[in-house]
Amino acid sequence: MLERSLRVALAQRDRHIGDEHILLALTLCPGVPAEVLADHGVTHESLVRVLYGSGGEAKAG
């Protein structure tokens, strides 16, 4: 999971793994965590939209 989180962070040009990267990685891996998140409306696509907007870069805030 940490390796996938690191890949997510690097894809966003971040130099560290944050909570958002771990959460995004959880939504990418098939399994119970992704299913539970999806059941509550949290998908990879929805997280990317909330975290990065349509441009894919982190929002200031």
Which residue ranges make up each domain of the chain? Answer: 2-52
Taking 90 as the threshold, does the pLDDT of residue 8 lie above it? yes
Give me the chain's average pLDDT, please. Answer: 90
Q: Read off the DSSP letter of residue 1.
A: -
Q: How far apart are CA 21 and CA 52, in angstroms?
A: 12
Question: What pLDDT digit, counting tens, does each position of 17-43 carry?
Answer: 999 999 999 999 999 999 999 999 999
pLDDT at 60: 45
Q: Global pTM?
A: 0.80
- The share of the chain scoring above pLDDT 70, in percent, equals 87
pLDDT at 56: 55
> Do residues 32 and 8 make contact, with C-beta atoms less than 8 angstroms apart?
no
